[in-house]
Structure 1
């Protein structure tokens, strides 16, 4: 055996050793390749199991890949999260927002239809007037695929033995191995954040590799060249204005093999024992409003691929594993179960297990850091992975829950870095939304955002009048909650203009209703209908929908706190404080439910997937079994009406709802349904089709079962949580079923967060532990439990902070911690 063959054998042994010592709690395993139905096919709403549902994902936040593990042909799907098509960029600042130019009289005409109760869809209705005057006619566009890399082996799948395909979510390493004849073949894949490349290594023992590598794209007019050991693909994503240009370089190191470029742009490798493939790709997108152009993508491709190839496979892999594992190791869930030895698709098909629930949580964290880190835009409806030129729902940014849900688990699950793309995108929306606020609604202060967003600053109202909404308040809830967890004052300074701008918009947008209270309109309650028998299932536009009113209270309260902490805008703070009691109250309806609208229109047989009027329960903080008993009971009635089974993301949200209602067994039942009945074989969320928000919502639900920190103590001397906690709604003395918003005292800005330990621990998880959960107030928490009871927790401060602990129905005194200090609870004797 020559020296190279010996070195290659050692590499193979090391690779197998890495696989052998992998923590099985993190590993997705399969005994067959993915189903590859993508080549030449585009089915954005395909109901069958195909590539997207069975291939395994990798990503570094901007650059993404999936591998199929195909025996005869490996298919790498490549994505760049900034690559969009079918929209416009480079327009003037107002036009780039997509806004409709509306006169004050036209806007008043629309509002009059609401005041007159013009329901339904006929001419003159709320919907038809909103479509006519407010809805944008500009193209939103859609997220676009990047490229496909195909690696043909010439191997016959029917002759293969001992096939294994896996993805280790702790290390971000994908592997494939099998035997054929006398040979053993292995592959390793990863997508590096430190070096911004996709890397694959093929190796053969007792045989040789004869590969053909090609790169293609679904975009028309692309050009591919094979030069020596490199494939260069250049192309354009078609836009209505200003096509997006992109480039990809695939560089091949075959060491002892022969490399031959082909006239068709492919490369053939002959008689190699090991082949390493490096891939870099970029488009010309920059997050600069309104041009969204200017990246030197060609130079970036060349610089990145050169740096990667100089470092080599082992150095790149070492840096990648250290990077991913350092983030994954921050938070670790350990439920008590005996490993089954089943493959992941078998676990899903078996109907659920603790093993699957444990894996699903870790995998969701892996997906989070893979599709949201270091990019100027957040994860979209499919996170980062898309194969279609016409994906379902444009694979865009829906702001009526989806993009927000994508970020619920980021801080609790200790992946705060993943939140940065959401912040950068919000800055662009606030800049663009100034024009939408002014041109569409005649509001000269603040910014506005509609239902759908893209990477080009689209903030206009949806093209359908029944889907007109505001969403700045919900986006700002995510922004402020990140501060609540981190307590980073510099970050608060950064986002304060966005918070203030959103609040300024609503100060002007709110208008008095019949009873004189201030309501949001035009609006809807996503995506639900009312008075269906009278006006049809498309009767959706409304006024004062409960979700809007709850979020406006949330926004005003957060803005008051931010301005207090930063010591600015006292006059504006006073404006918000004066407006809060005038907001439309929350109401309990005829069935004992929390009303979805200010009118008692709720139907107890309505099982709609959106339950937006419980936003104050989750992800908000203003309804709690511990502090708002009557609103809590009304929320229970609403949850009973809506039922348990739904789409993937809705199932994830219901897991969070039941956790906040402190019903751990019900939360677990739904989480179990999510992980088994709403998961594809590769554990992507089954909406259907694939949407990634269910993965993130489910992981957020696990965090909520084990730790909650949204309540705050405003009374340091109180001995009970009912007396200690701030309550945002008080009963109307004249209307006992109405609950009026409460103006927060400025002392709320210094109020300690209350850490509720194991608030919804399910009986199905009697023994276990979780390390590295984050709590609001700049805290990190480890928890252990046995026989359903807390045995020990460790709480560490990442900032100087005060806190209180609520565990086993008891509230601690205020505890002060300096940065770096920790305590155990219950305290050791």
Structure 2
């Protein structure tokens, strides 16, 4: 369970990530110079602002009328000119810590750097001359500090100079054995894809200033001498050196001004450093590993033998050969590691890059892209036994319910709440695009609140936590449903639809022109259906809101059915339209297959076959995150070989020397970060979820064992996966066949469940503390 390499990182996508949910670091592990790229999850540009557009609702209603008349081009132009507002703000890099190392003369030998997933520990070993050096680094969640320990096997051989650099407005000061980076974030950072003459703006007006931030480094040396330099700190001839780094911002919530109402940010750093120094390196490491492993060790996996004797780049070079099934175990556990490292209770949710970003203007602002990417980050959270890491997303949703309530009222004359395809730390809920021609294809998509609400309902299903459902889940689901009920309109067949609508980032040909806005789409109506079904289920479970329940059930009975096209495919729009890009990366209309559960092989075989045909027509090449979605979709269709084909492509090495090459095919970088390209972490999380789906799937009442097991995973096991049916699952298999499954009940009340294997079924009774063992002979 380690990623290891024979050379230092030469670019960012070769460095190795550490994180505690809030603090992030990319470790380059150079010998002459160590470079640590730093992030803090609340460091964003901007401050709270309202971007709701007064009068937008009237234009929305006009666009709806035009779409119902099938004047799609006119509807799109109207929306783009009148209802699209400002872009989100940007997630920012904190800075870089550099350590210039002094070594005795001699060739660098025996080099090995590694990221140990089981300990969340970066480790570097090498020799210089006759001296053997070791660096260990981790980021502690219990103590909220970054810690690095540098040692040599002879006394007095550790010498270094430490310095900070930063792309933001910041200064460095030296106090005793501390080095302090203190700065302020920009008030505005335009997206990298916008051609702006002044893309990064710092305001002098206090009401428009961005958030303040600091990083504080403290050095503790064993032996040797420490010097204060104008630009940093120097340690000379120490036996060993321990570095402690703390960082904070003045962010005080999405609705408080970070400069005028900011939280203290320096004093907590000093307190954290003092507490860390008093504990010392060994105790800090012990506390870090113990806390981290309570999450990581919940799930074990073995998919077969591997080539662990090879460094990662050599293992990736054989991505298309069936010689190293253990690399998929590594990919799965790396996904779990990254989620633990980038999303913890009380932190910000994982963004497009988790918490790791080096760019002042990151790709797509490294924001919350909620037309799939943010949701994909959390697809596996419950199944892979990390429900706590889901919590930051719930915090974002709760806050979007506030800002999105205003947007629903102002933009749609509706109750409830709405959000569109982008958000940020300030909980922007309005459609972006800034009145740009052609932007509706991504910007006008008022469905994300609905999709996000499915996450809170899923958390309830996995946990059975009625208090959570009552206090958090149902209020969110109710308001997402309320918005949809208020905007649904009758079509010519008397059905209720959400109009106008787009299918995320895809377009069609209409009357010879490329267009994105139609009457409605399959994904739109799938999300509407799912939200109304979840809202109705909540009302029944909680015994509440009977009038609302009746309204939701009446609307559900009038939603249109899914339609199959002339090629046997599931239609993407409300009518059969020519696709502008037949191999488009988004497979949005397959939402009811995955992550939704409205289409299945058993319950809706004809629609499942249409989903299969759709995937065949879309082709087998795409971007990184889109390949991850296809893994999950093929797994839901119980096609292990197709899912495995997509999974292999996730391991395809991508040249990171040009990481901004959007046109290069998907795969992964040398550090196994997902390559869109550029880097997006959603493909890591989506692949992790997809592997879990290949081995086990669940509904509220069923558990499907090994539904999409490929031949390459002939013999192995997984334990600790969670289900919606109130059980954790351990399953072992040999030569592609079930060897043994053990199911342990997690719900307080006993319930009857159906366990499925290769189309055969077995009824069992499970309750909390109960367990059932099954073999293939039991089916």
**Fold match by TM threshold 0.5:** yes
Asked whether the equivalents of residues 503 and 559 of structure 1 are also in contact (C-alpha less than 8 Å), the reply is: yes
Distance (Å, rounded) in 1 between the aligned partners of 2:742 and 2:306: 26
Aligned to 1:580: 556
Q: 2:331 aligns with which of 348, 360, 365?
A: 360
Aligned to 2:191: none
Distance (Å, rounded) in 1 between the aligned partners of 2:373 and 2:58: 34
Q: Secondary structure at the match of 2:78?
A: helix
- The Cα of 1:286 is off from its aligned counterpart by 2.2
Q: 1:647 aligns with which of 612, 620, 623?
A: 623
Aligned to 1:43: none
- Show the 5 A alignment for 1:264-663: 264=231, 266-291=232-257, 293-352=261-320, 353-443=324-414, 445-463=415-433, 464-466=439-441, 467-470=443-446, 471-493=448-470, 494-531=472-509, 534-536=512-514, 539-603=515-579, 606-663=582-639
Aligned to 1:730: none
Aligned to 1:243: 210
Asked whether the equivalents of residues 447 and 502 of structure 1 are also in contact (C-alpha less than 8 Å), the reply is: yes
Asked whether the equivalents of residues 306 and 327 of structure 2 are also in contact (C-alpha less than 8 Å), the reply is: no
Q: Secondary structure at the match of 2:731?
A: strand
What are structure 2's unaligned runs of at least 5 residues?
A: 189-207, 434-438, 654-666
Asked whether the equivalents of residues 112 and 124 of structure 2 are also in contact (C-alpha less than 8 Å), the reply is: yes
Asked whether the equivalents of residues 211 and 269 of structure 1 are also in contact (C-alpha less than 8 Å), the reply is: yes
Q: Secondary structure at the match of 1:619?
A: coil
Residues 561-596 of structure 1: CA deviation (Å, up to 9, x unaligned): 112111211110110000002112210111111100
Asked whether the equivalents of residues 106 and 128 of structure 2 are also in contact (C-alpha less than 8 Å), the reply is: no
Distance (Å, rounded) in 2 between the aligned partners of 1:163 and 1:305: 31
Q: 2:100 aligns with which of 125, 148, 152?
A: 152
Quick check: 1:769 aligned with 2:733? no
Count, aligned residues: 730
Aligned to 2:117: 169
* Larger deviation, residues 637-646 vs 804-813: 804-813
Aligned to 1:180: 128
Residues 62-86 of structure 1: CA deviation (Å, up to 9, x unaligned): 111111001111111111111101x
Distance (Å, rounded) in 2 between the aligned partners of 1:766 and 1:532: 48
Q: Secondary structure at the match of 2:756?
A: strand
Q: 1:261 aligns with which of 228, 248, 253?
A: 228
Residues 319-367 of structure 1: CA deviation (Å, up to 9, x unaligned): 1111222211111110121435110111112225312212111111101
* Larger deviation, residues 182-191 vs 206-215: 206-215
Asked whether the equivalents of residues 228 and 259 of structure 1 are also in contact (C-alpha less than 8 Å), the reply is: no
Aligned to 1:16: none
Residues 678-707 of structure 1: CA deviation (Å, up to 9, x unaligned): 011000001000000000111111000010
Distance (Å, rounded) in 2 between the aligned partners of 1:826 and 1:242: 63
Asked whether the equivalents of residues 119 and 126 of structure 1 are also in contact (C-alpha less than 8 Å), the reply is: yes
Q: Secondary structure at the match of 1:341?
A: coil
Aligned to 2:195: none
Distance (Å, rounded) in 1 between the aligned partners of 2:105 and 2:251: 41
Q: Secondary structure at the match of 2:430?
A: coil
Aligned to 2:192: none
Q: 1:276 to 1:572 in 2, by over 3 A?
A: same
- Show the 5 A alignment for 1:760-799: 760-799=708-747
Q: 1:462 to 1:349 in 2, by over 3 A?
A: same
- Show the 5 A alignment for 1:721-800: 753-800=701-748
- Show the 5 A alignment for 1:63-102: 63-85=23-45, 87-89=46-48, 91=49, 95=50, 98-102=51-55
Distance (Å, rounded) in 1 between the aligned partners of 2:428 and 2:122: 36
Aligned to 2:758: 808
Q: Secondary structure at the match of 1:806?
A: strand
Q: 2:647 aligns with which of 671, 680, 687?
A: 671
Distance (Å, rounded) in 2 between the aligned partners of 1:260 and 1:300: 25
Asked whether the equivalents of residues 518 and 574 of structure 2 are also in contact (C-alpha less than 8 Å), the reply is: no
- The Cα of 1:520 is off from its aligned counterpart by 1.4
Q: 1:140 to 1:158 in 2, by over 3 A?
A: farther
* Larger deviation, residues 156-165 vs 629-638: 156-165
- The Cα of 1:139 is off from its aligned counterpart by 4.3
Q: 1:689 aligns with which of 642, 658, 678?
A: 678
Residues 484-521 of structure 1: CA deviation (Å, up to 9, x unaligned): 11111121122211110000000011111222211112
- The Cα of 1:603 is off from its aligned counterpart by 4.2
Q: Secondary structure at the match of 1:194?
A: coil
Distance (Å, rounded) in 2 between the aligned partners of 1:142 and 1:605: 29
Asked whether the equivalents of residues 72 and 157 of structure 1 are also in contact (C-alpha less than 8 Å), the reply is: no
Distance (Å, rounded) in 1 between the aligned partners of 2:353 and 2:30: 23
Asked whether the equivalents of residues 193 and 320 of structure 1 are also in contact (C-alpha less than 8 Å), the reply is: yes
Distance (Å, rounded) in 2 between the aligned partners of 1:609 and 1:79: 30
Asked whether the equivalents of residues 784 and 792 of structure 1 are also in contact (C-alpha less than 8 Å), the reply is: yes
Asked whether the equivalents of residues 102 and 441 of structure 1 are also in contact (C-alpha less than 8 Å), the reply is: no
Quick check: 1:113 aligned with 2:89? no
Q: Secondary structure at the match of 1:480?
A: helix
- The Cα of 1:299 is off from its aligned counterpart by 1.9
- The Cα of 1:369 is off from its aligned counterpart by 0.6
Residues 608-646 of structure 1: CA deviation (Å, up to 9, x unaligned): 010000001000111111111110111111011001111
Aligned to 2:660: none
- The Cα of 1:110 is off from its aligned counterpart by 2.4
Q: Secondary structure at the match of 1:772?
A: strand
Q: Secondary structure at the match of 1:552?
A: helix
Q: 1:631 to 1:784 in 2, by over 3 A?
A: same
Aligned to 2:9: 34
Aligned to 1:9: none
Distance (Å, rounded) in 1 between the aligned partners of 2:235 and 2:300: 42
Q: 1:482 to 1:705 in 2, by over 3 A?
A: same
- The Cα of 1:605 is off from its aligned counterpart by 7.3
- Tell me how large the CA RMSD over aligned residues is: 1.7
Distance (Å, rounded) in 1 between the aligned partners of 2:406 and 2:137: 45
Q: 1:178 to 1:593 in 2, by over 3 A?
A: same
- The Cα of 1:158 is off from its aligned counterpart by 8.0
- The Cα of 1:182 is off from its aligned counterpart by 1.1
- The Cα of 1:232 is off from its aligned counterpart by 1.2
- The Cα of 1:404 is off from its aligned counterpart by 0.3
Asked whether the equivalents of residues 405 and 417 of structure 2 are also in contact (C-alpha less than 8 Å), the reply is: yes
Distance (Å, rounded) in 2 between the aligned partners of 1:440 and 1:371: 33
Residues 279-322 of structure 1: CA deviation (Å, up to 9, x unaligned): 00000112252546532212211111111111111011001111
Distance (Å, rounded) in 2 between the aligned partners of 1:594 and 1:297: 52
TM-score by length of 2: 0.91
- The Cα of 1:104 is off from its aligned counterpart by 4.6
- The Cα of 1:247 is off from its aligned counterpart by 1.3
Residues 385-417 of structure 1: CA deviation (Å, up to 9, x unaligned): 001110010101111100000000111111111
Distance (Å, rounded) in 1 between the aligned partners of 2:350 and 2:236: 40
Residues 203-248 of structure 1: CA deviation (Å, up to 9, x unaligned): 012361110011221102x121111111111100011423100111
What are structure 1's unaligned runs of at least 5 residues?
A: 1-25, 36-49, 713-752
Distance (Å, rounded) in 1 between the aligned partners of 2:257 and 2:485: 31
- The Cα of 1:141 is off from its aligned counterpart by 1.3
TM-score by length of 1: 0.86
Residues 19-65 of structure 1: CA deviation (Å, up to 9, x unaligned): xxxxxxx1001000001xxxxxxxxxxxxxx21x1000000111111
